[in-house]
Amino acid sequence: MVSIHLGDPPSLRALFLGELWRGRDNFKVTLRGPLTVRSVASLIIPLYNLSLLAIAISSIAALPVWPASWKIAATALAVFSFLCILRALRMDRYANGIRSLFENLAVAVVYELARALALVSRATHRVRRYGR
């Protein structure tokens, strides 16, 4: 068996579709093997992020009937953003400068969104490869 690595995705869209596809069976695969701290984190973090996004979206939808719900939406998005910043800072170990930090932040946001949405969407190999 030979492993071929085709490099990093050329765009944020390709990264999103690739992670959406990769995360599609995250729970099933992780729960099959022995649980480690790392594997449990790979289950909890996307679920946590999906919950934050659901809270933010439902709070925004509730704005017409409950104007104060913007505070809940802002808090949920702030926590999601903080987690993305932590990932970007961790990625920035080998990079330098503020520009690379913002680039890493964009990658972290797309990665976290895709992994969270993979829990509720069915991405096929065709989605990953062709964007369909």
| Residues 54-96 pLDDT 10s | 999 999 999 999 999 999 999 999 999 999 999 998 886 666 7
| pTM to 2 decimal places | 0.87
Kindly report, residue by residue over 26-60, the tens digit of the pLDDT: 888 888 888 999 999 999 999 999 999 999 999 99
Whole-angstrom distance, CA of residue 50 vs CA of residue 120: 9
Report whether 104 contacts 92 (CB < 8 A). yes
Whole-angstrom distance, CA of residue 59 vs CA of residue 72: 6
CA dihedral 75, 76, 79, 82 (to 10 degrees): -100
